[in-house]
Amino acid sequence: RALPAAALAALAGLVGLGCLYCYDYYDYNPDYADDAFEENDSFASAYPLEAGRRLTEIDADGGVLSDSGFDDYFLTDHLEAGETLLVYCEFDNSYGDVDIDLFHPDETYAVGSASSTNDYELIRHDVTTAGEHYIYATLFNSTYNTYDLWYHRVPADESDLYEPNNARATESFPLAEAFWLSDTAVHDGWAVAHTSAVDEDWYELDVTGPGTVTVWCDFYHLHGDVDVYLYDALGADPLASS
């Protein structure tokens, strides 16, 4: 079957320049086959998706959208009023723009995300009505694309499992070597620690001898910039920061 023009252009570039590396986002499917979440083309048939779980964790190909009516609906967990819902959608925009919308439990529109140039869409919504919400994904101005989608729930009090850790001397949380916060901290689908302008998080490292300390911090910059500082045992001045 013929490849789309964008794919042919990309292949021609690789042939001309030589392939230093290849990035495979999701397999292109010229047959427009159903994905693993069908039939989820309406509110009534929405696919139940657990918080913190990506579509690509359920099926490696993720979700499929086409101009043949493959719009997708997903059903969230039961959300409590006061929570914050974060919805993420990733895709290759060169194949087509994927837009997402969020609907209240009564199927009325809440909020949407429809960028025309990015390889992602992001929704942040403060829940006002308790219940299962609906996430809607659709394809804009294209014939076919695949995507990944997942969501997180932030508790109403915005406290994570490591609180209280707001003071270096008395409340710092001990971290083991090679430990990621997301390895074990899952609270209502919120699998990371979080902070705000009025909240600082302190962690204690057990460094017993000379060597190099490397600290990694992953976050979505769309929500705000997170800075990391490393202090010695005295804590007077930071040894390093990012």
pLDDT tens by residue, 94-151? 998 999 999 999 999 999 998 878 888 989 899 999 999 999 999 987 888 999 999 9
Domain residue limits, the chain: 5-154, 157-242
- Cα–Cα distance for residue pair 242/106, rounded to 1 Å: 44
CATH code for residues 5-154: 2.60.120.380
Strands (E), 82-161: 84-91, 97-103, 109-113, 120-126, 131-140, 144-154
The answer to whether residues 52 and 84 touch, using CB atoms and an 8 Å cutoff, is no
pLDDT in tens, 1-21: 444 554 434 434 433 333 333
Indicate the average pLDDT of the chain: 79
pTM of this structure: 0.63
How far is the C-alpha of 146 from the C-alpha of 26, rounded, in Å?
7
